[in-house]
């Protein structure tokens, strides 16, 4: 099983699109709201070098933004 984490904020439309994509594909994920969780925000910045969301980690591979092709590749789809 693939480990998927998504760092997001409630107001981010691309975050919503990414979560909907995972739900449609029946892919479980852990969600971290970086607008509320300072530790998750710091972790996201450390892993990605970015402050923008979403940041998606799939089995250790970091994807910044809702890049569907990169996500599918990381998921071996």
Whether pTM exceeds 0.85: yes
Dump pLDDT digits (tens) for 12-51: 999 999 999 999 999 999 999 999 999 999 999 999 998 9
Q: Count the residues in the chain.
A: 77
CATH class in words for 4-74? alpha beta
Query: Strand 55-58 to strand 61-64: parallel, antiparallel, or no bridges (unpaired)?
Result: antiparallel
Residues 37, 22: Cα–Cα separation, whole Å? 22
């Amino acid at each position: 099983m693939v480990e998927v984490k998504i760092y997001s904020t409630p107001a981010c439309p691309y975050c919503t699109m990414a979560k909907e994509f995972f739900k449609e594909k029946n892919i479980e994920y852990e969600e971290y709201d970086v607008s509320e969780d300072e530790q998750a925000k710091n972790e996201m910045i450390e892993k990605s070098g970015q402050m923008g969301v979403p940041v998606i980690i799939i089995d250790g591979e970091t994807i910044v933004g809702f890049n569907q092709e990169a996500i599918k590749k990381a998921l071996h789809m």
